Structure 1
Amino acid sequence: MASVTFRDCFLCVSALITFGFVFVTGADFVRFVSFRAIYHNLSGAAPPCRDSVPWSVALRDGVVLKAVAVDVLLLVLFSLQHSVLARAPVKRVCESVFGVLSRSVYCFSTAAALQMLMQCWRPVSGAPCLWSVHTAPWDIWFPLLCFIVHFLCWAVICSILLIFDYPELMGIKQVYYECLGLGDPLLLKSERAQRLFSHLRHPVCVELLTVLWLLPSLPLDRLVLAAFLTAYLALAHSLDAQDCVYLRRQLQSKLQIFSTPLEDSERSNTHKTQ
């Protein structure tokens, strides 16, 4: 039985700290994107915008322009961190410096950049909303509908992350395999799976876009957030025809497994092992 070294303990603790920080940041992001944007409608609080102010006046207001500039700068900094560290030359430098912790360092820095964006975000309340639901009874029912759809979208996002090997996305699996001397877990996957993982940057585009845009009120700062992240997700999409064929085959095989009766599945597995 292999002995546990100080290096192994350090790697495991670092990976677990990263996992905890990313988990807390994910919960804060759900609150930032969904709960805070819907809560004022459900609670009857003051609207996040001033519909009495025309756009021509709001766009000349120095307070509004300063808040929008700060929000855009935060989004640019987050996108730079998220994209530059994903480039192949930078990844090679990180792997040479941090070794097996390179994926954990990437996730930790991404969570830190996202925390800075959320903590320093400047709401814009001095401009009108792009749309806002005020007419009864939709002023109550539409926020409830948005809340239900947001809940379902976040549930789907969590399911997709679990399917796409969440421990490996967080860098925990890499540390575990390193401690056991098994090498990089990505290299144990098929070539088509490795190709898919190299192209699939954001597997939750549809659900995240739904959460960003489906709101009872869309103030100016939320419009900036939704438009910027929509453009970023569109530019980051790099799947090609071979990736789509591989995904379609994987989906068909999963559906076939779930649609096969349990007895037939066990009989098939027994036949394969004999």
Structure 2
Amino acid sequence: MISRVLTLLYALVSYALFTISFLYALGFVGNYVVPKSIDVGSPTSPGEAIVVNLLLMSLFAIQHSVMARPAFKRWSANFLPAACQRSTYVLLSSLVLLLLFWQWRPIPMPIWQTRGVTAWLLTSVHWLGWLIAFASTHMIDHFDLFGVRQAIVAWRGAKISGQSFRTPLLYKIVRHPIMLGFLLAFWATPEMTIGRLLFALANTAYILVALQFEERDLIAEFGATYQQYRQRVPMLVPRLFVRRQTEGAPR
């Protein structure tokens, strides 16, 4: 019983740390409220900033991708209980993200600056992106995604079951709405700086590469069901027009 309680506490602490890192990310990317953001911090040379920032983003990409792979999950199962695996992933991802925020070197040289209606529209798209990313986690199973459901099931003494394949709401429009939301939040800004451009470019490259591995894992898990889903629904860019297919031969 004590181990179940500790597992639940571990999951809740990990989720709390995720919440902190996510809220800080809102301010970091948008230059709002937080003391250190993507364009605000101690000045340094552009060369040093580029090297340090790329190393920080590479660290996040490697940790995030390697721990998400089935082979790593099977290996970690040798010493990590199933109820703690997702929480550990969330915990380490949040810690690496907070490290990135802490050690980020701003490069505030402007690339574009907009005002008026254009600035308002870009800011609206920016916040729409964050909303899409966060809402999409609830469209599948938010607490399963961040390890809380597994800990609650284990605390109750039940067996942790896998998730069935579902395509609710935005998942009928694009296969990865969470990533679409992040891309909108990263790129839509009334004031683009070199530092923010570096952040957006590196994260876009990471997302495009990481999704290839994720798609491969989903095909391995769900087989023909996911293959058919891929044929119907685009990865990131919604189709503006859906072509209707008629049954039977033309007359």
Q: Does the alignment reach a TM-score above 0.5?
A: yes
**Counterparts of 2:53 and 2:117, CA distance in 1:** 30
How big is each residue's C-alpha offset from its partner over 1:11-39, in whole Å with a ceiling of 9 and x where there is no partner?
A: 111111111110111101111112449xx
**What is the total number of aligned residue pairs between the two structures?**
208
1:175 aligned to 2:171?
A: no
1:95 aligned to 2:91?
A: no
**Counterparts of 1:180 and 1:248, CA distance in 2:** 40
The one-letter code sitting in structure 1 at the alignment partner of 2:182 is L
Q: Equivalent pairs: percent with the same residue?
A: 26
**Counterparts of 2:148 and 2:188, CA distance in 1:** 34
Equivalent pair of 1:8/1:179 in contact (CA under 8 Å): yes
The one-letter code sitting in structure 2 at the alignment partner of 1:206 is L
Cα distance, 1:225 vs structure 2:
0.7
Alignment of 1:1-274 (within 5 A): 5-36=1-32, 63-99=45-81, 100-125=83-108, 127=109, 129-133=110-114, 139-186=115-162, 189-190=163-164, 192=165, 203-238=177-212, 239=215, 242-243=225-226, 245-246=228-229
**Counterparts of 1:21 and 1:91, CA distance in 2:** 21
Q: TM-score, normalised by structure 1?
A: 0.68
Shift in CA distance, 185/220, structure 1 to aligned 2, threshold 3 Å: same
Shift in CA distance, 180/201, structure 1 to aligned 2, threshold 3 Å: farther
**Counterparts of 1:87 and 1:146, CA distance in 2:** 35
Cα distance, 1:63 vs structure 2:
1.2
**Counterparts of 2:127 and 2:231, CA distance in 1:** 26
Equivalent pair of 1:130/1:218 in contact (CA under 8 Å): yes
The one-letter code sitting in structure 1 at the alignment partner of 2:45 is V
Report the 3-state secondary structure (helix = DSSP H, G, I; strand = E; otherwise coil) of the residue aligned with 1:204.
helix
Report the 3-state secondary structure (helix = DSSP H, G, I; strand = E; otherwise coil) of the residue aligned with 1:185.
coil
**Counterparts of 2:123 and 2:4, CA distance in 1:** 43
- Greater helix fraction, Structure 1 or Structure 2: 1
**Counterparts of 2:175 and 2:161, CA distance in 1:** 18
Shift in CA distance, 110/216, structure 1 to aligned 2, threshold 3 Å: same
Equivalent pair of 2:132/2:177 in contact (CA under 8 Å): no
**Counterparts of 2:154 and 2:232, CA distance in 1:** 31
Q: TM-score, normalised by structure 2?
A: 0.74
How big is each residue's C-alpha offset from its partner over 1:199-237, in whole Å with a ceiling of 9 and x where there is no partner?
A: x99541222111111111221111111011111111122
Cα distance, 1:93 vs structure 2:
2.5
Cα distance, 1:141 vs structure 2:
3.2
Alignment gaps of 5+ in structure 2: 34-38, 167-173, 234-251
Shift in CA distance, 242/236, structure 1 to aligned 2, threshold 3 Å: farther
Equivalent pair of 2:123/2:188 in contact (CA under 8 Å): no
Cα distance, 1:116 vs structure 2:
0.5
Cα distance, 1:152 vs structure 2:
2.2
Cα distance, 1:96 vs structure 2:
2.2
Cα distance, 1:244 vs structure 2:
6.2
